[in-house]
Amino acid sequence: MNKPLFALILALGIGAIATMQAQQAPAAASPAPAALNDAQIAHIAYTAGQIDITAAKQALQKSRNKDVRAFAEEMVRDHAAVNQQALALVKKLGVTPENNPISESLSKNAATELNKLAALDGSAFDKAYVDNEVAYHKAVNAALSGTLIPSAHNAQLKSLLETGLKLFQEHQMHAEHLARQLG
């Protein structure tokens, strides 16, 4: 099976979910957040994929490190393929992805991070980009396994998310290896 299945779409939404869960954990008396529906999960996944594509394209413009560039090319390829598959699935199911606070938060946080990375060059950029990818994929994997997959109601969406989790775990390992190389 081709690596890019749905992992891309999930990446950004997952980080936001993990952040929201961490912020809500200390407030035990707070009511639980509203459950996500499949249309919201699809939007989170797509948004996450687009964010990682944008970050990878920035890396391709700024980095001269062959390993960082190869990783960024992998992120663009895999996430674009996953987004295409996700769009095909939501069209098949007749679901319109639904914007929500998590996908909005993902977009806002991604814009901030892209601005930070834009101010860096050379090895400083490479290290910051790869470190961000490690953290991003850790958060995405946690959100996928802890929130998005359990919240998905449609079996096809759930299966796509599970496949995405496997791919994102590979991305995380690749990013961690690259981070060790960059020191």
* Domain span including residue 106: 36-182
> Cα dihedral angle (122, 123, 126, 130), rounded to 10 degrees?
-170
- CATH no. for residue 132? 1.20.1260.10
Task: Find the largest Cα–Cα distance for the chain.
Answer: 50
Q: How many domains does the chain have?
A: 1
**Is 45 inside any structural domain?**
yes
pTM for this model (two decimals): 0.81
**Is 157 inside any structural domain?**
yes
| DSSP for residue 6 | S
Residue 18 pLDDT exceeds 80:
no
**Is 123 inside any structural domain?**
yes
Q: Which two tokens stand for residue 140?
A: 């995405």
pLDDT in tens, 155-171: 999 999 999 899 989 99
pLDDT in tens, 120-177: 999 999 999 999 999 999 988 898 899 999 999 999 999 999 998 999 899 999 999 9
CA angle 44, 48, 51 (to 5 degrees): 140
**Distance of alpha carbon 44 from alpha carbon 73, whole angstroms:** 22
Taking only Cα atoms into account, the Rg of the chain, rounded to an integer number of angstroms, comes to 16
**Is 12 inside any structural domain?**
no
Cβ atoms of 6 and 81 within 8 Å: the answer is no
